[in-house]
Structure formats: structure tokens, C-alpha cells
Chains A and B, each alone.
Chain A
Amino acid sequence: MMISLNDKQIQHLYWRTGFGISNHELKIVRKLSKDQIIDQIFIESTKASALSMDFGILEKHPKDLSVAERKQARQLRNKKMSELNILWFKQLTTTKEVLREKVTLFFHDHFAVRLRTPRACIHLNNVIRNHALENFGDMLMEVSKSPAMLIFLNNRQNRKNSPNENFAREVMELFTLGRDNQYTETDIKEAARAFTGWNFTQNGSYIFRKNHHDYGVKTVLGKTGNFTGEDIIKILLEQKQTARFICQKLYRYFVNDIINQNHIEILTNAFYDSNYNLKTVFNLMFKSDWFYDSKNIGTKIKSPIELMVGISKPFKVEYENPKVLLYLQRRLNQMLFFPPNVAGWPGGKAWIDNSTLMLRLKLASLTLNSGVIEWQDKIDIPENPMMSQQVYQKIKSKLQKKVKTEADWDIFLSNLESKNKIALTHLIIQPELSKAANRVVSNLDENDTKNFIIELMSLPEYQLC
């Protein structure tokens, strides 16, 4: 068992449990043992800071709205969805409760809901945050009963004698057991009957509508009874496959795209035996030696949000027009609160295509240096039809004009322990440099520290953590 962590391993832990680590923080936690660092990460996330905003007339009962107000409400909903997105992005970059936010981001993807109703969306987001480091079963129950989920998967239309199976199907396929695992079409049909009557009131609180509920006998996953929706959730949690499915997803998100069956079994047993305690499973994961295996370090493709927050955070970036955050998220295919569908973002290599990759590579220079990557060509490549740096800089792209920011370079630079090439490379880049990157870096001028950092953050390797 490892007692302490080296810098690379600490950075790894901070990238996976958050959005990287600043040199300043690194200096402090380097003195701690592995367990102390991890315990501290949990302690920092003890609190759960809910997102909150003023919804104006959207808080009113729709029946109390005038015709003009109703029209206004429609526009306001769209506006509030944008504000909500920016609000969360800001929380992600400034929070002290980093692990809790990261886990919230994971479950935002797991319980993917795509709606244009900001009150329902903020509520669901806060429910997830509250349970993020507590009990998965409680989270599942409260999420299932949230207006957002009831709307999105049509459980309000699910009534006795006219069932809607949407929620019953997805709760098994995507939220608990996983596709084609241990359940049948009959199980879905029977479970749908149990969820009849689940609804919410005008002010958004859950209500069980007895008249809509099917009180008959149902058989689900081999059990028979007059089940309610709560019973079905309980039955799903009794299946060890649920613990396994969640652990597989957690592993892909926090450890590696490629699953190691032994590790999954260890996590699954702990998760199941603790009655789905998320803190238990995370604690075990981060304290395991295999979490720090070199094959797990620097091998994950950052999600667009990880990339954007990772760039913004250490420089305390202020966006002149925060709406550009929405634009960038859209171009990079990860809009917070707008997952593509109930299955969430596909992730991994699916983040990457020609248009997203070129923008991702350009993002650090756009955010931190007005789109400029200084480059003095020292390598003689006679056949290369490269544009000279000067010519290139004259072509201000539309994007450069759009992304206007203020980045605090002073604080970033003053916190650096070393401005040496190797030290900076290790601080900024998680994976080993490829041969190409190595050759490029060896020719870079480290004396212009700011520019050298921009260059490092423009390498393909920076896309990995």
C-alpha cells in the first residue's frame, strides 16, 4: 500500500476528483500523506451549496398569468436556462466543494434530462448535489420523483389502464441494471404499472395520485405483490447488478475507459455491502493503489466541461460576455443541462471530431491569450507550406473576437515553484509527451514563461487527464 503520492499522482487525483490542481495547492498538499489528502478532499465537500436563482413570474401559478405574461414566461424560460448554465459553470470553477461538484456532473450525465423548464432543472441538479456523496438509493428515489424526471420520461402520462413505459424502461436500462441485464420486456410493462400515479403539484412537490394508480398485482424480476413505485426501486436496488452497473460507469468516468473486472468486483462488493454509500465507494477507489497505475494517468479524454473549467480555474478567468460559454459548450458538444438524450453524453473518443478537436486545441490560447500562440520557427522544414506567424496573427478569426476574457496571469505566474521546462511540462501535462510533442517542446523557448505555458496547453496531450 502506498503511503504517499508523488506530484504526478497528486495531480492525477485532483484531475479525476476535480479539475486539476494549482501549483499553490500542490505545494501545500505535497506535505500530506495519501490518506490525509483524500480525507481532506472529502472534508472540503462536506457542504452542498445549492444553485439558486430568481425565477420571476415563472414562480407564479400559470393560471394567474395574464396573456402578455404567458408570452413573457416562454421567453423567460429560455433566458433562465442560459443563466442556469452559466451559474453552474461559475460554481464549477470557483467552488471549494470540488469533489461534490464533480460527482454532480457525473450524475447530471447519468440522470440525463433535457428540458426547457428551468425550475425543474435547477431542482433536479440540487437533488443530485445533495446526495452526491451520500446514498445512491436515496438519490435514485428522489430523482425519480422529481418534476424534471416525471416530465422528461412521461410518468405523468403513465396511468392505470393507459400505461406509459418510458420511465420504467429507462430506470432499468440506464439508471440501475444496464441495458439487457437481467430484466425482460414483461418486467418493464409490470413496473410501469407500479409507477402509475406518480406526479407533482403546481408548486413542484411530489404527489401520489391515487386515482391514477394501478393497485393490481404485479410481477417484477421474479417478485410478486401489489407493488408501488417505491417497491420497484427497492427491488432494483436489491439486485447486485445495479451496484455493478453503477460501479462500471463510475470506473469509466473516474478511472479508465477500459474496465478492469477485478477492480469492478472490489468496488461492487463495497458499494452493495454499504447499501449504496457513494462515499464508501469513492473512498475505496481513490485509496486503492491501482487508481494510481500509470495506465490510468493521463489517458482519459477531458470532457468539454472538464477542459473549459480546467483552463478557467487556475487563471480565475472572467468572461466579458458569459454567453460565449454557451457558444463554446455547443460547439464542443457538451451543453450543461442539454444532454443529447436520456442516455447522456457518449463521452470518451466521441468528444473528438475534426471541428471539436481544432477548437479544443485552440481553446487555451483563445481563453488566456487572445487567440495567440506565439511560435518562432526554429525547425527547418523546407517543404512545409506554413504560414509565417506574422501573417497568421493578422487573420483574426471571428472566434477570437467573440471570446473576450480577463485571465489573472500574475497570480498564476507568481505561484510557480519553477519555471524550468521540465517542471512546467509536468505541472501542465498529465500524460507522457508523444515523440512529436517532445520534439516540439524541446525547441520551445521557456524563457517566455507565459507563452511556453500557452504552447503546452495547446498540445494534443493537454486534452488528456
Chain B
Amino acid sequence: MERRDFLKQSVFASGMTLIPSFLKGMEFLSPDQLSGYKNVIIIQLSGGNDGLNTIIPISNDIYHSARPQIAKKINQTLKITDDLAFNNNLKAIKNLYDLGEVSIINNVGYPNPNRSHFRSTDIWQTASDTNQYLSTGWVGRYLDANCQLPYQAIEVDNSLSLALKGNKMNGIAVSDPNQLYRTTREPFFNTIVANTQKEMLDEDNQGYLYKTMLETYSSASYIHKTSKIYTTNTEYPQTSFAKNLKTIANFIVSGLKTRVFYSSLGGFDSHVNQLNSQDRLLKIYAEGIGALVEDLKKNDRFNDTLILTFSEFGRRVKQNGSRGTDHGAANNVIAIGGSLKKAGVYNELPNLHDLDNNGDIKYTIDFRSIYATILNNWLDVDNQSILNKDFKKLQFV
């Protein structure tokens, strides 16, 4: 169904008032429909997470000699293989790994890597080449091509990342469904929306403003109402990251018709004394994910969920002069889910003998191959129209 037709049908079906018809026409997924409704949760570790101290090549001499003060000792790690180990703050992830629910993809990056946070984040979010400036994100283009409603991609945050911006449609940014709902309760705005009619929703800028306003109202109302269906009793850590994951779990288990969730955890820019700061953040990450997975399992939704964790770049192999690391290039990506096709260590470990001119890890898997795999194998849509190119599909889902 065309989006505009949808708006016509559901917004205006009952005459001039907007909100009531939305409430009437609103549907959520019933428990039997829920099964098989796949979704993906994307987590960005912002600031450039040091992948080498996250998933550690513990037997590699170069790793230890390049990082005399910040290399992890074997007793600070959790063994994966003889050569590889998790940072011991990733206990929850290690537990999932042992259950066959984690796939570690090494050396993910792109040609001619950019080492600016902002630029590299843009590249990851828009799925562009390094010299290409796109104003739409890959999730936004997924919405454009495959979805009818903006809330099919939700960012749990106060503002919307470029990743979720499309040409025709944007995703919805919501940190707290009640708060989003409240912003739409302003009586004056409500009256404007109630008076809005379909012929005003032209393609011009004025029509676009009204259309976005309507979509915000319908989404806020839908998310508010639907997310009340389920409130988790799983215990989450007291961090804002875990709180966001809890919101996502509530959305998923309540049967929100959302395909893509987006969230981030910041602070990984570890130029100085990185051991403490990174360990603390990895713990926040792992404990949050642990609670989320437990929640989804309890509610039988984990088999339909894929959690992808990435960072805009990895860090330099060699430590710097302040017990930290500088901006690097290729990095590991973690895929977690109840229906992985290939769990474990997906590909070869980083080759520390063969670094690029900056002393950074070279990429062997283009990050867009991961997107292509998710779009194609998990969300069952044509990835080429979204990524503008054909990337090799991987086999982790």
C-alpha cells in the first residue's frame, strides 16, 4: 500500500478529526502474529571503541609489545579460543557466546578509512563511500523502499540520527514514549492536527510540515498506546543505556510493528588512560545487553531479534603516550541473536603483522556487506536499491 493511501485510509477514514480515527484504526501485533516478526537492534558504541581490548588476540606477541601498559593480561580476560578472549567485563556476552548466540566478525571497515568521528559516523550511518556525502541514512532508505509508517524504524534517543533519515520518510526518535506523547498533547497543536485535511499534504514544504506533524502525532499515539501493553518485570541495570534497551524490549514484546531499533552508548574515545574508562563502558554495555536478551527470551522474542553492535572505527594497535589509543580503522562487529546461522568467530583474526600506513588494522569485510546481509537475509528486502551497490552477503544470519 502506498503511504499516502494509508494516510487517507486511516487518518481520514472517520471525517475531519485525526486522533480518534488513528486510535480506532490502530493495530498492534497479536501474540500469534508476533512470532516470526523479525527486528534488528543496532547499537553504536560512539567515540571509536578499541576492539582489540574488547575481543582480545591474547596469544599475539605484537598485541602485547605494542601495548606495554594497556594490553590485557590473560587473567583479565574470558577465554574464547587459545588465541582469543573477551574482556572480562563482557561476562554477559561470553555467556551468550557459549550458548551459540554470538557471532564475532573481525576486520570490518571500508576503503580509505576516515579517522574523524563525525565523518566516519556519517559514513557508517549513510553507508556511503569515503568520498561520498549522502543526506539520507541506510535505515531511512530502507523505510523509503519498504515501509509504510515512520515508526517502523525507531531511535531510542532525543534526536534522530542521520541513519534513520530517508528521502520520503524519517524514522521516529523517542527516548520516553510518555514524553513524546506529552509533546503532542499541547492543546493548541492538537487543534491544528484535528483540523488537518488530506489535500493539504502536498509535496511542497508546507505540506511536508503538516505531514511530519501528522506522522508525529500518529506515531506518538500509536507508540504510547501500544507500548503500554507490556511492561517488563525483568531487572535491568540502573544505567541510561540499559533504560533505553528496556524501552526497546517493551516495544518489541508489546508487538510494536517496528523493524529497526537504533540506540547508542557514548564515551569510547579513549585517548587517555583507557583501561578504566573502556572497562567501565564495556560493563555497562554487556550488562545491558544481558538483561535485554534475558527479557526477550522470557517472552519468546529472541529468535526474531538480531542485535548488531558497531563503532565508527577501531583504534590504533600501538598505544599512545598517555596510556590510551588514537583513532584507528577496521574493527570487530558483534552480532547477537537467537537465530544465527553461524555463531562463533566468523572470520580470521586481525593481522597485526600487516597494518596500514597509520599502524591501523586493515579491513577485510566492508561494513556494507553486513548491512546487505541484514537487509537481504534477515529483513527479506532487496538490499541493492538501499545500498546503491551490490555487496557480498555474509552467512551469519
A interface residue numbers (CB < 8 A to B) = 114, 169, 257, 298-301, 331, 333, 340-343, 346, 348-350, 352-358, 361-362, 373, 375, 377, 379, 381, 383-389, 392, 395, 397, 431, 434-437, 439-440, 455, 458-461, 463-464
Q: Which of B89-144 contact A (CB under 8 A)?
A: 118-119, 122, 131, 133, 135
Tell which of A357, A395, A464 touches B213, judged by Cβ atoms closer than 8 Å: A357
Do B192 and A460 touch across chains, with their CB atoms under 8 A apart? Answer: yes
Chain B 170-189: CB-based contact to A (< 8 A → 1; otherwise 0):
10110000001011111111
Do A385 and B204 touch across chains, with their CB atoms under 8 A apart? Answer: no
| Binding stretch for chain A, among B158-166, B248-256, B335-343 | B158-166
Q: A381-B17, A385-B19 are in contact. Are A458 and B194 (CB under 8 A)?
A: no
The CA of A356 and the CA of B172, in the complex, are separated in Å by 11
Q: Does B206 contact A (CB under 8 A)?
A: yes
**CB of B25, distance to nearest CB on chain A (Å):** 13
Within 8 Å CB of A388, what residues of B?
187
**CB of A164, distance to nearest CB on chain B (Å):** 12
**CB of A435, distance to nearest CB on chain B (Å):** 6
**Residue of A431, A439, A463 with most chain B CB atoms under a 10 A cut-off:** A439
B211's nearest neighbour on chain A, judged by CB, is A352
Q: How many residue-residue contacts, CB under 8 A, span A and B?
A: 142
B150's nearest neighbour on chain A, judged by CB, is A354
Do B212 and A299 touch across chains, with their CB atoms under 8 A apart? Answer: no
Q: Which of B181-216 contact A (CB under 8 A)?
A: 182-197, 199-200, 204-206, 208-210, 212-213, 215-216
Q: Does B20 contact A (CB under 8 A)?
A: yes
The CA of A146 and the CA of B215, in the complex, are separated in Å by 45
Within 8 Å CB of A340, what residues of B?
118, 122, 162
Q: Does B219 contact A (CB under 8 A)?
A: yes
Within 8 Å CB of B212, what residues of A?
352-354, 357
The CA of A341 and the CA of B188, in the complex, are separated in Å by 37
Q: Is the interface of A mostly helix, strand, loop or mixed?
A: loop
Within 8 Å CB of A384, what residues of B?
17, 19-20, 190, 194
Within 8 Å CB of A439, what residues of B?
195
Do B122 and A341 touch across chains, with their CB atoms under 8 A apart? Answer: yes
Q: Which of B48-92 contact A (CB under 8 A)?
A: none
Do A331 and B158 touch across chains, with their CB atoms under 8 A apart? Answer: yes
The CA of A299 and the CA of B190, in the complex, are separated in Å by 24
Do A436 and B196 touch across chains, with their CB atoms under 8 A apart? Answer: yes
Within 8 Å CB of B220, what residues of A?
354
Do A434 and B185 touch across chains, with their CB atoms under 8 A apart? Answer: no
**CB of A376, distance to nearest CB on chain B (Å):** 9
Tell which of B17, B170, B192 touches A353, judged by Cβ atoms closer than 8 Å: B170
Do B208 and A350 touch across chains, with their CB atoms under 8 A apart? Answer: no
What are 13 A-B residue pairs whose CB atoms fall within 8 Å in the complex?
Answer: A342-B133, A352-B209, A353-B165, A354-B219, A358-B184, A373-B186, A373-B187, A375-B191, A383-B20, A386-B190, A435-B195, A435-B200, A460-B206
Within 8 Å CB of B199, what residues of A?
435
A376's nearest neighbour on chain B, judged by CB, is B187
Do B209 and A460 touch across chains, with their CB atoms under 8 A apart? Answer: yes
The CA of A353 and the CA of B174, in the complex, are separated in Å by 11
Within 8 Å CB of B193, what residues of A?
436
Q: A352-B212, A353-B165, A386-B187 are in contact. Are A381 and B194 (CB under 8 A)?
A: yes
The CA of A408 and the CA of B230, in the complex, are separated in Å by 49
Do A352 and B208 touch across chains, with their CB atoms under 8 A apart? Answer: yes
**CB of A359, distance to nearest CB on chain B (Å):** 8
The CA of A434 and the CA of B208, in the complex, are separated in Å by 12
**CB of B179, distance to nearest CB on chain A (Å):** 8
The CA of A388 and the CA of B185, in the complex, are separated in Å by 9
Within 8 Å CB of B197, what residues of A?
435-436
A174's nearest neighbour on chain B, judged by CB, is B133
Q: A357-B216, A358-B216 are in contact. Are A397 and B209 (CB under 8 A)?
A: no
A432's nearest neighbour on chain B, judged by CB, is B206
A388's nearest neighbour on chain B, judged by CB, is B187
Do B191 and A354 touch across chains, with their CB atoms under 8 A apart? Answer: no
B179's nearest neighbour on chain A, judged by CB, is A397
The CA of A375 and the CA of B188, in the complex, are separated in Å by 6
Nearest 7 A-B pairs (CB), nearest first?
A383-B20, A436-B195, A343-B133, A354-B216, A346-B135, A460-B209, A373-B188
Q: Which of B376-395 contact A (CB under 8 A)?
A: none
Tell which of A298, A355, A379, A395 touches B182, judged by Cβ atoms closer than 8 Å: A395
Do B192 and A436 touch across chains, with their CB atoms under 8 A apart? Answer: yes
The CA of A158 and the CA of B229, in the complex, are separated in Å by 59
